[in-house]
Amino acid sequence: PQEWKMYELVARRFMATLAGEARVLSVRADLTCGPEPFVARGSRTVEEGWYRFYPYGRKKEVDLPHLEAGDEVEVTDAPPPKRGETQPPPRYTQGKLIEKMEELGLGTKSTRHAIIESLYERGYIYGDPIAPTETGIAVAEALRKFAGVISSPEMTAALERDMDAIVEGAETRREVVDKSREMLEEVMHLLESSRSQVAAEIRNGIREDRVMGTCPECGSPLRVIRARKSKKRFVGCSNYPQCTVTYPLPQNGNLVPTDEVCPECGSPKVRMVSRGRKPWTFCLDPSCPTKSRENPTDGHNPPPGGEGHPGEEA
């Protein structure tokens, strides 16, 4: 049945490419009732064309009565008022973000994907639809505050245009390089002069990202810590040395806190996001009963044993 559906879709699509155009007549009536605007839309298919073979996405037929500008209509049945809240716009997916970059003139066809990849790699964003990490937000905000020019899409777009101008021979490489060097020098001065503030803002973001949840023993934040000697990362209680709770971590991949607590052992759950792999949520405690049921993580997950807790916050 699955195959049949697939076949039908292919066949119908093929037929549709050979069929004639479909024509739809649409009307729109703008009405006002008191101060509030109302809109009525009607649509009627006048020529079926390819819709005959490929009805998906076909518009619903809605007949509107004939109206002239200035006509008055009577309200016979007022719909009950509905309570609603505005929704934030949905997050961009990778595909949508690439479209947006195209629209703003950022990057080229061949670089856009790599630009987004490097945002993932640096841990500024995670997931798809894409969400920013606290570090990502902090970096963007620090740049906006202290070096507004480089955080604006206009500047990058202007640079791309200049590069196109080199290709077209309208500007020389020299001119463009000089121009951007000058601009970057200016930005460098700006950043240099506010170096400590920039660092503080970004550090705050990184600190936030490293909080993986709450210690089940003492309630203090659990942070990702890098062991000083081995450079291996693990999760440790920020109340050390009073509390010595630690958890081992996989050494690769981006870790994202989830706000979830494991129902079986009370340890926080975290999400692992690595390139080319499905995100994976797991309980931090390697001896948690849920572990024997999930994929074993042994081998990638050596305990930080022997190194002690006093890691350095990288």
**Interstrand relation of 131-132 and 211-214 (parallel, antiparallel or unpaired):** unpaired
Smallest gap from Cβ 135 to Zn ion, in A, equals 24
Asked if 123 contacts 183 with a C-beta cutoff of 8 angstroms, the reply is: no
- Other beta carbons within 10 Å of 172: 11
The footprint of Zn ion on residues 281-310 (CB under 5 A) is 283, 285, 288, 290
Smallest gap from Cβ 279 to Zn ion, in A, equals 18
Asked if 267 contacts 283 with a C-beta cutoff of 8 angstroms, the reply is: yes
Asked if 249 contacts 280 with a C-beta cutoff of 8 angstroms, the reply is: no
Regarding 218 and contact with Zn ion (CB under 5 A), the answer is: yes
Smallest gap from Cβ 245 to Zn ion, in A, equals 4
Looking at this protein, which amino acid is placed at residue 56?
Y
Collapsed DSSP state (helix, strand, coil) of residue 250: coil
Alpha carbon distance 79, 77 (integer Å): 6
Smallest gap from Cβ 210 to Zn ion, in A, equals 15
Among 245, 249, 272, 273, interactor with Zn ion by CB under 5 A: 245
Regarding 211 and contact with Zn ion (CB under 5 A), the answer is: no
Query: Total binding residues for Zn ion by CB under 5 A?
Result: 16
Among 143, 237, 256, 270, interactor with Zn ion by CB under 5 A: 237
The 8-class DSSP code of residue 312 comes to B
Smallest gap from Cβ 58 to Zn ion, in A, equals 50
Among 48, 141, 208, 217, interactor with Zn ion by CB under 5 A: 217
Smallest gap from Cβ 116 to Zn ion, in A, equals 33
Handedness of CA 17, 18, 19, 20 (dihedral sign): positive
Regarding 225 and contact with Zn ion (CB under 5 A), the answer is: no
Smallest gap from Cβ 262 to Zn ion, in A, equals 3
Alpha carbon distance 219, 48 (integer Å): 66
Q: Which is nearer to Zn ion, 92 or 247 (CB)?
A: 247
Q: Which is nearer to Zn ion, 212 or 288 (CB)?
A: 288
Q: Which is nearer to Zn ion, 52 or 309 (CB)?
A: 309
Asked if 201 contacts 144 with a C-beta cutoff of 8 angstroms, the reply is: no
Q: CA of 239: how far to CAs of 40, 177, 301, in Å?
A: 62, 51, 23
Q: Which is nearer to Zn ion, 129 or 219 (CB)?
A: 219
Instruction: Tell me which residues touch Zn ion (CB under 5 A).
Output: 215, 217-218, 220, 237, 239, 243, 245, 262, 264-265, 267, 283, 285, 288, 290
